[in-house]
Copies of this chain bind each other. A is one copy, B any other.
Amino acid sequence: MSSVSTSTGRQRILDVAAALVLDRGIDGVPLRQIADIVGMKASSLYYHFASKNEIVVAVFRQGIDVMERAWDDAADTPPHHPRARLAIHVRAHLSALFENGPFTAAHVTAFRTAPPDVRAEIIPIRDAYEARWTELLAELAAGGHLRPGTPLGLSRLALFGSMNSTIEWFDADRGNLDELAEVITTGFWDGFGS
């Protein structure tokens, strides 16, 4: 298992690149800066990757991979009643955003400004992840657990927005991810009104 400080070679480059891209965006990160932090010269990056775009694609891929793994882990737990099933996947998505490196967060924040060819390569992969959520919400709706009348796509997008926007303000070092997941789940399920 790799961690940021112990990874080597290709993975170490991706760790550094993901953190920087999350912070400054794709165009805000020169290859020279990635290389500096890794401890090599920019030209040496080209032994591991053919281009900057290829690094970005690898970062995004790994970000989606982290999300899918978190989903799979969550899906392993025994079946719950509907709300708990949602809660466990919300917690998993937040885990991908905050507990497994900067990859998922980098993907979520930087994808919108990525070059068209990078986007084209990533879209099919992220679609597969989104389809899992659509399916989960469809099952909840079929069981009568979601308000009728709201299109499924809308509630999925609202949930994604609510989860992903935590990147802007949640501090994983100070806050509690379980509590955050509970707030988001409750907000989605019951709302904040009373």
Contact = CB atoms under 8 A, between A and B. Distances in A.
Interface string A161-194: 1101110110000000000000110111111111
Contact of A28 (B83, B113, B192): B113
A122 interface: no
B168 A184 contact: no
A9 interface: no
Q: For chain A, what secondary structure do more than half of its interface residues adopt (helix, strand, loop), or is it mixed? A: helix
Q: How many monomers of this chain does the complex have?
A: 2
B192 A150 contact: yes
How big is chain A's contact interface, by range?
35 or more
A183 B150 contact: yes
A124 interface: no
Interface stretch (A11-19, A50-58, A141-149): A141-149
Contacts of A194: 144-148
A183 B158 CA distance: 9
Given A27-B27, A164-B165, A158 B187 contact: yes
Contacts of A193: 83, 145-147, 188-190
Given A25-B25, A157-B168, A161-B168, 12 more contacts: A24-B113, A83-B193, A148-B194, A150-B187, A155-B187, A157-B169, A158-B192, A161-B162, A161-B164, A162-B162, A188-B193, A190-B191
